[in-house]
Amino acid sequence: MPGSGVRLIVVDAANVIGSRPDGWWRDRSGAARRLLMAVAEAWERLGRSDEVVVVLEGAAKAAIAGGVGPELDGLRVVRAAGSGDDAIVAVVAAAVGAAEDRPITVVTADRGLRDRVEALGARVVGPRWLMDRIEV
């Protein structure tokens, strides 16, 4: 586990993907795979040292099926067993429990999720913040 000085970025993939009306609903796993690849490529290109966790739920979980593991070019992918929001809160809570002073940023526009993770001490940014850093 990275030290408390390394920022953790937790991405609500469903929310980020859904922020752009580009036909993602016709191929949720494909849209999730494109997001994962774009984030991985951008972080490598930018030389970012942040730890990035992308949470997938529902049909999007198939994006990492077929031999692709939960680590993708420096990203950790969490396949939510149920609610993606609950999985995101669990990731944030575990990180806070491991290092209370660790900077944590959650990427989502979901107001309910925002309230839950801010109560744990995370900073929340909208999908545009991530989209400005990647080429999707």
- What are the boundaries of each domain within the chain? 8-131
Cα torsion angle, 3, 9, 64, 136, sign: negative
pLDDT digits (tens, 9 = 90+) for 89-108: 999 999 999 988 899 999 99
User: Which one has a higher pLDDT value, 90 or 69?
Assistant: 90
**Residue 32, CB half-sphere, CA atoms under 13 Å: how many?**
25
pLDDT at 1 over 50: no
Per DSSP (E only), the strands in the chain are 8-12, 51-56, 71-72, 75-79, 104-107, 123-125
Between the CA of residue 91 and those of 16, 21, 30, 96, 123, what are the distances in Å? 17, 28, 24, 9, 14
Give me the chain's average pLDDT, please. Answer: 86
pLDDT at 66 over 60: no
Are the C-beta atoms of 61 and 80 separated by less than 8 Å?
A: yes
Q: Which fold has domain 8-131?
A: Rossmann fold (3.40.50)
Instruction: Pull the structure tokens for residue 7.
Output: 């920022």
pTM over 0.95: no
